[in-house]
Structure 1
Amino acid sequence: MKLKYTIAIPVYNDENTIRECLDSIINQTIDNDKLEIICVNDGSTDQSPAILEEYSNTYSFVRVVHQENSGSPSGPRNKAIELATGDFIFFVDGDDYLGEEALERMEEKILQYDSDIVIGKYVGINRGVPQAIFRNPDNFSFYGSNAMYTVSVQKLFRVSLLREHNIRFPEHYSLGEDQPFIIQAYAYSNSISIVKDYPCYYLTNNLTVGREQLTKKPITGRIYMHQFEETLAAVASLNLPKEKKLRTYYQYLTRVLNIELRTTITRSFQMEDKQFIFDSLKALIKQHNFLEIYPNFNTREKLLLRIIEQGDLEDLINFWYAERHPGNMQVFHGLIYPKAEKAYELAKAETLSFHRSNKLAAAVTRIQKKAEGLLIEGYSYHTLVDASEEQLFLKLSDRDSERVTSLAVQKGAYDTDSPIPVNPEVMQEQIISLFHVVIPSSALERLDAENGIVDLHLISRIENYTAIARIIGEIPQHSTAKLTSSKQKNHLLNVTTYDTKHGNLSFKLKDTAKKKPKQPSKKQRVVNKIKRMLRA
């Protein structure tokens, strides 16, 4: 099978980068007779048109179309779809470029899987790039995948797929115009293939003056909402069974809740624009009846939907920032809810508990032998919940027999004049609790593990909510402590601390008999007696 590829390049003031872009395509390892390059000059005011004509005059497979400026890449891309003679079309931006073997590697996936869409590994130049999608198998279905986490169109699409379903870019706005196009292509595709092991597409941040000025145009709430409205309308218009349409709706709404909503809240919009976006989202999710797919969402997503449905913008912002700062959730009857008032009310009404999201972590940073036993000191923290009223316990377990025992743990340092060392990075990000506990030899001996290994866990109880964490070791130097046995006279329990391969703290125990003092000889006893007499 001999396939032909159309490379579609919308060009606007790309005089500084278009040569590198075109050269990277012309120098592909596949034969040039399999290539068609369509450059649509979108009213450039620099030297880009002259450069394009130069390449068109040199290479027969380079075609140039000139048009008045449309304000976005959508029109030029649609023109390329209309003119394409290739079996597949690859949308490439004029300031990006391809890896030399990109098309050869992507063609291998087409021949192997007959995919409608192929995504090549991205490399970011002065910018981030999608990565999560490359954790999928080499070939997969859109449904149930994480494909919506990359909605840019720098991908290879089967031309017949786009034409059969009339998939085109909306031309009346220029922010997020990729989304309605990509969701239709994904939903109608037979499968998606990915090239994981070769850098196919280099996404750059080398913006030209023209592009930079376009990017800096103020974005209003009305402009920002176009992408949501158009994409949801595109989902509604899909000529697919209801189950697939609902699945597509769910996958897109998941992206909105986890990605687009973050941008809405954190971006420097005017307050009026943020309010417009929130009110529009409220109307949209009701219009498209999110309740049909509501059970599919996770706890956090469900709460976000309920806040948008029943709350106001302030409620959304309060919850959004609260969940990003530790200590802003509370325990109620063993479950964890946000402290933010509206979020708490809505979460409690549906028992939307965050107990699975909250994580307890603990580390021991100092160990000392004391007369009463082995003193361990460290710190702990919860990632979400307010732990100011927690009770702490140390769980000791014999690895072989699985026998366990526990001890109450005290908050704070053993000696207030000797502060407990704490990882500074953790201290900056978390609300920590300092703790100490003295482990007597009797507690270790209750495990009957005198020659075994003991693992350490920290248990935190807040009301009737319990969390447990394996204690990690952050001790500068490990050592062996000799504790007097409480079970056997003239025996010692040697406790050697060490870190497991996962960085967790454990003890190696070994029971040994005390060495009996050496008895003096008869001659030495006589000498000792004489010395005592002389001293007297």
Structure 2
Amino acid sequence: MGRPDISVIVPVYKAAGYVGKGLQSLAAQSLAADRFEVICVDDGSPDDTLAVLQAHAAAHGNVTALGRAANGGPGPARNSGLERAQGEYLFFLDADDYLVPQALETVLTHARAQDADAVFYSYVLVQGADDAAYARRKDMDFLVADRDQRVANFLAGELDGSVIFSLVRRSLFTDHAITFPPGLHEDIPVIYRVHWHAARIFVLAEDLYFKRYRPDSIINSLGHEQIDGLLSALRDVWDFTRAQAPADLVASLLPRYRRGLVGAVVSLIEKALVYFPTDTGQRLQYYSYILDNIVGHGDFAGMELPTQSKKDRIFTRFMQAFQGEADRTQALRRFEDIVGDGPVVDSASFTRNAGSFA
């Protein structure tokens, strides 16, 4: 096999029971098998995931199965794939997701025709045993050609923060030393750097990717690791912007960054309401952790509290109720009395918002 056009990187952890559908969708691609490679990286799974990957690799000449000795998270696993990748373009697939048969051929055709550094395409969110579709990509209108406007949209939380749903020229990663950090939400800093460095992008309003929603997945749960991961990823993005951009651009982007951070904080508050609707103690624990995190980092120091949108008002009421209040149980009651009885979102329909960081 010569140099492939595309390297598909698949991080896998404890997925022996469901990784097969994604692998089968890759085997069924209309793009010839000798034009793309698949690099599956088992991230130290305690089950027989690696054996499943090795068996699949033995049956398909364009598939490589790698195993990491210890679990490090999807970021380090993807980095292992990056180290082995030889393709002109990179494509990322999560272990529980799958593609339409023409996905790779379609994105490659458009990347070549448009000389694009990155191609962004639409996807379908599915759930349940029958993979019923319930949502599609929501941020397509914000994927604009102008780089500065696009990164402003990203900072404001108007673009998806996932590295999946894109095809990226591999030289963008090698030329700018882009790698995935450890921890959760590790793809936010990476896809932001792709937006920053891409000289030309192409947006394809075609559903090529099926993203399976699993309520039990770590990214859809709530804990200190999720809070730290999301807020740290956004701070990384802002630190990168301040280091790369001229002072006037930084000044114009600061309000957009803070708007995105407000949205992220509200998404965490909403998750606490959804996951612990009757457990006041758990909600208080997570509210306190969120507050201490953002106050400790000075994210909103000197900022006038916003009131324009519903999220602005929830955030402002949260800060007013908790900041400087010694009795946080009383602060919780005051905050939740203000926002109304019950959650500020419908727990039955709450999912990871497909058009935002959260």
Q: TM-score range by the shorter chain?
A: 0.7 to 0.9
- Is 1:220 aligned with 2:223? yes
How far 1:118 sits from its partner (Å)? 1.8
- Is 1:254 aligned with 2:262? no
Q: Deviations over 1:169-194 (max 9, x none)?
A: 221x23x2332333333233334422
- Is 1:169 aligned with 2:174? no
Q: 2:141 aligns with which of 135, 139, 147?
A: 135
Q: 1: CA distance between counterparts of 2:112 and 2:153?
A: 22
Q: 2: CA distance between counterparts of 1:111 and 1:233?
A: 31
Say how many residue pairs are matched.
Answer: 313
Q: Percent identity?
A: 20
5 Å-filtered alignment, 1:483-522, equals none
- The one-letter code sitting in structure 1 at the alignment partner of 2:139 is I
2:124 match: 123
More divergent stretch after superposition (116-125 vs 182-191) = 182-191
Pair 187,58 (structure 1): closer, same or farther in 2 beyond 3 Å: same
Q: 1:203 aligns with which of 211, 224, 229?
A: 211
Pair 49,277 (structure 1): closer, same or farther in 2 beyond 3 Å: same
1:178 match: 187
1:70 match: 71
Q: 1: CA distance between counterparts of 2:249 and 2:31?
A: 37
Q: 1: CA distance between counterparts of 2:237 and 2:142?
A: 25
How far 1:96 sits from its partner (Å)? 0.8
How far 1:216 sits from its partner (Å)? 9.7
Asked if 1 retains the 8 angstrom alpha-carbon contact of 2:31 and 2:105, the reply is yes
Pair 253,128 (structure 1): closer, same or farther in 2 beyond 3 Å: farther
Q: 2: CA distance between counterparts of 1:24 and 1:246?
A: 45
5 Å-filtered alignment, 1:515-530, equals none
- Choose between structure 1 and 2: higher strand proportion: 1
- The one-letter code sitting in structure 1 at the alignment partner of 2:285 is E
How far 1:113 sits from its partner (Å)? 3.2
Asked if 1 retains the 8 angstrom alpha-carbon contact of 2:172 and 2:194, the reply is yes
1:279 match: 292
Q: 2: CA distance between counterparts of 1:301 and 1:218?
A: 21
How far 1:240 sits from its partner (Å)? 2.6
Asked if 2 retains the 8 angstrom alpha-carbon contact of 1:38 and 1:62, the reply is yes
Segments of structure 1 that go 5 or more residues without pairing to the other structure are: 326-536
1:104 match: 105
Pair 321,169 (structure 1): closer, same or farther in 2 beyond 3 Å: farther
Asked if 2 retains the 8 angstrom alpha-carbon contact of 1:180 and 1:227, the reply is no
1:39 match: 40
5 Å-filtered alignment, 1:1-400, equals 4-126=5-127, 128-136=134-142, 139=145, 141=147, 142-145=150-153, 148-154=158-164, 155-171=166-182, 173-174=183-184, 176-197=185-206, 199-205=207-213, 212=216, 215=218, 219-221=222-224, 223-238=226-241, 239-246=244-251, 249-265=254-270, 266=273, 267-268=275-276, 269-284=282-297, 286-287=298-299, 291=303, 298=308, 312=322, 314=332, 317-321=336-340
Q: 1: CA distance between counterparts of 2:220 and 2:313?
A: 34
Q: TM-score, normalised to structure 1's length?
A: 0.51
Asked if 1 retains the 8 angstrom alpha-carbon contact of 2:219 and 2:226, the reply is no
Q: Deviations over 1:133-176 (max 9, x none)?
A: 223578564234467441122122222222333322221x23x2
Highest CA radius of gyration, 1 or 2?
1
- The one-letter code sitting in structure 2 at the alignment partner of 1:181 is V
Pair 119,53 (structure 1): closer, same or farther in 2 beyond 3 Å: same
Asked if 2 retains the 8 angstrom alpha-carbon contact of 1:236 and 1:245, the reply is no
CA RMSD for the aligned pairs?
Answer: 3.6
Asked if 1 retains the 8 angstrom alpha-carbon contact of 2:116 and 2:200, the reply is yes
SS at match of 1:196: strand
Q: Deviations over 1:267-318 (max 9, x none)?
A: 434412211202322343x357674xx7999466665665566652646545
Pair 295,85 (structure 1): closer, same or farther in 2 beyond 3 Å: farther
1:369 match: none
How far 1:77 sits from its partner (Å)? 0.7
5 Å-filtered alignment, 1:445-464, equals none
SS at match of 1:237: helix
Q: 2: CA distance between counterparts of 1:75 and 1:165?
A: 18
Pair 222,196 (structure 1): closer, same or farther in 2 beyond 3 Å: closer
Q: 1: CA distance between counterparts of 2:96 and 2:169?
A: 23
Pair 184,317 (structure 1): closer, same or farther in 2 beyond 3 Å: farther
Pair 276,50 (structure 1): closer, same or farther in 2 beyond 3 Å: closer
SS at match of 2:288: helix
Q: 1: CA distance between counterparts of 2:139 and 2:302?
A: 25
Q: Deviations over 1:458-496 (max 9, x none)?
A: xxxxxxxxxxxxxxxxxxxxxxxxxxxxxxxxxxxxxxx
Pair 87,235 (structure 1): closer, same or farther in 2 beyond 3 Å: farther
Q: 1: CA distance between counterparts of 2:80 and 2:205?
A: 30
1:429 match: none
Q: Deviations over 1:209-240 (max 9, x none)?
A: xxx4x639974346512321232133213423
Which structure is richer in relative contact order (CA contacts within 8 A, separation 6 or more)? 2
SS at match of 2:139: helix
How far 1:200 sits from its partner (Å)? 0.6
1:434 match: none
2:350 match: none
Q: 1: CA distance between counterparts of 2:98 and 2:57?
A: 18
Asked if 1 retains the 8 angstrom alpha-carbon contact of 2:98 and 2:209, the reply is yes
- Choose between structure 1 and 2: higher helix proportion: 2
Q: 1: CA distance between counterparts of 2:89 and 2:65?
A: 19
Pair 56,191 (structure 1): closer, same or farther in 2 beyond 3 Å: same
Asked if 2 retains the 8 angstrom alpha-carbon contact of 1:129 and 1:203, the reply is no
1:503 match: none
Q: 1: CA distance between counterparts of 2:213 and 2:220?
A: 17
Q: TM-score, normalised to structure 2's length?
A: 0.73
Segments of structure 2 that go 5 or more residues without pairing to the other structure are: 128-132, 277-281, 323-330, 345-358
How far 1:22 sits from its partner (Å)? 1.6
